Structure 1
Amino acid sequence: MRTYLVGGAVRDKLLGRTVVDHDHVVVGAHPEEMLALGYKPVGKDFPVFLHPETSEEYALARTERKTGHGYHGFAFQADSSVTLEQDLARRDLTINAIAQDEAGHLVDPYGGKRDIEQRVLRHVSPAFVEDPVRLLRVARFAARFAPLGFTVADETMALLQQMVRDGEVDHLVPERVWAETRKALSEAQPSAFLRVLREAGALAKLFPEIDALYGVPQRAEFHPEIDTGVHLEMVLDMAAKLAPGNDLIGFCALTHDLGKALTPKEELPRHVGHEHRGVEPLRALAARLKVPAEHAELAELVCREHLNAHRALELKPATILKLLATLDALRRPERLDIFLTACLADKRGRLGHEHDEYPQAAWLRHARDVAAAINSAPFLEQGLKGPAIGAAMEKARMEAIEIAKLELKF
């Protein structure tokens, strides 16, 4: 029985990154031996155990064989005869197929250390094509490691394209697509996720609403990058910079401009009303991928209202108050913060505008504070009842916003 540290822990050590999870593979052992040593079984499809003291994962070395389509179409063999090299061979990328023994020596039969040094994402074996989730994983790893200079190997991209042509991607279940997308939106450069999927031909199948944005022109005086797809990539990366690891803001950024793909050709490069046109495709995407309700709701608010945020300094107090009410910002101020961060990412996600000031955010937060300071107590003392209280509070809030705007000289 021999134990090895494997996967992301070894990879991240070699990259000088913080190691979060320590996963191990056990060679030459039976499940009964693991149980006798106090390990707790947790694996459903194959033997995985938790260490009795550290709770780290220890999986018996295994092989897998394709038996059908999709993520679940595999048969597994896990017994004491499976070698470490066989276990590493079933992994997706060479950088994830490195092991380290208890003495600290690396076992690297597929050149993962070399690919780390050369900054390449490369598949381990031709069996890569058997699992469609791997296409999404490669795109997600690209989003994580693109800032370090990693690119997808040409031969691996060819396999991704083959998987799309062969229809393997059609067997991806919505839950896995969303799970990998959510992780990608939490990475440092989410635009790389879109670029890999697009080059592979998978973006059009999995995210047709997003793929449709590429090649759609915008007015150069506002969007020097011209292409709406390029703008979306810039907004995604700006959102990741402004709110690292926040997939909720990332999803709002991802879907904020879907309406631009539906602008009539004769109106291009202007996009009047795109904020309203984008609601239907956003709802379709969210429903198809079974996106969490909070993500879908806030993304729709950003889609519909981001232009109001951009012109907040020109809005009348009544419109400001209506926007705050739409966001439910008086009761839930964190929603305003999420909304404004996504809007700031949109503002700065343009060529040459990466450092633009955005006083609209400070103004809307201040308007929210002065409006929230108005409560019902003085109106109750005046003897007002029922709807009259609400009307009086609304009027007082608009007046407070107007006064604040004059004081701040907006």
Structure 2
Amino acid sequence: MMRTRPLKVALLGCGVVGSEVARIMTTHADDLAARVGAPVELAGVAVRRPDKVREGIDPELITTDATALVKRGDLDIVVEVIGGIEPARTLITTAFEHGASVVSANKALLAQDGAALHAAAEEHGKDLYYEAAVAGAIPLIRPLRESLAGDKVNRVLGIVNGTTNFILDKMDSTGAGYQEALDEATALGYAEADPTADVEGFDAAAKAAILAGIAFHTRVRLDDVHREGMTEVTAADFASAREMGCTIKLLAICERAEDGASVTARVHPAMIPLSHPLASVRGAYNAVFVESDASGQLMFYGPGAGGSPTASAVLGDLVAVGRNRLGGTTGPGESAYAALPVSPMGEVVTRYHISLDVADKPGVLAQVATVFAEHGVSIDTVRQQGKDGEASLVVVTHRASDAALGGTVEALRKLDTVRGVASIMRVEGE
């Protein structure tokens, strides 16, 4: 039987995502009530600009005092979609203190202070759910922490930022340069006016920290994630990738070491074979590839951003938390029992594609090969083209540590015959 007293929900933020959450709560009220087991009532909406017209929302619910809203004491669930670190962190902990569970889409805050937020939720016996923090509408957090809880996840490899995937896909499919592709992404609304968080990998790094923490039952903070942006990727890099039967994606990669004693988390552009499922992810879509002992390889794919997709994930959490609330229980909290160390980037082992500008004269290849050998990096293939005293040398290595590759590149730059290192690209997914 349905409980007659409604579950009261406060909404912090009413932008693209928040307004869509409010709209769906209103238009699908009967369905949500049936799924939760009680009516779901929007009890208040905290905003910065109270005079803005918000269609479908009772103006009486609007307030600029978010602190007073979460301190009401009669709220069941607080939905936080304002983003950033503060005041979101204080508002969430205050909500717990005053009896509400929390649904959040705040990847930056969870990547930085997830452990403290989980501790606060546990202290007060409340839920903290955040499916919408990673990959929009794609069910990913709950499968990792619930469906795969009995399995051992070894690797999470994914495209978790739609803006960067759109840009790289456009560069690959049309031959456009980076700036041209970025301009189109901005015009279409895929990129922000300031795209730094996306194109420099900050957004993906926050998501990688969250995914690694859940997958490996280990606390992984944003500072633990190695991050490189994609602004230096060129048309020449794509041409080289095509010659190898690859494309280029900005990847979030979370891995357990082969001996199981540590983990790594990183975000950077990488070449991946066209045969890999992630290579076919086009436009602004996201996809995450999960590898585990028992279930093998799984892929999660779909729209990773936008008002409606993200609101879908928020409302899925709202229903789950509402059911827990009615049942007097809470869902899974933080699982960090493994407490594995996070290894530095230098210990990561992968393949590399290095493009060098060199002098076009005898003996150059031998010098370059000697440097690779001295640093313990084995060469797989070499391709050289020369004209008018200048040449390009493309070297693809076997698997080597990032530290060994770094030492190799540093030594190469000191050779008189090497005019410059044009690009370094990791090769993944093989």
Compute the TM-score of the two structures, normalised by the length of structure 1. 0.31
**Larger proportion of helix:** 1
Larger RCO, structures 1/2 (Cα 8 Å, 6+ apart) = 2
Structure showing greater Rg: 1
Compute the TM-score of the two structures, normalised by the length of structure 2. 0.30
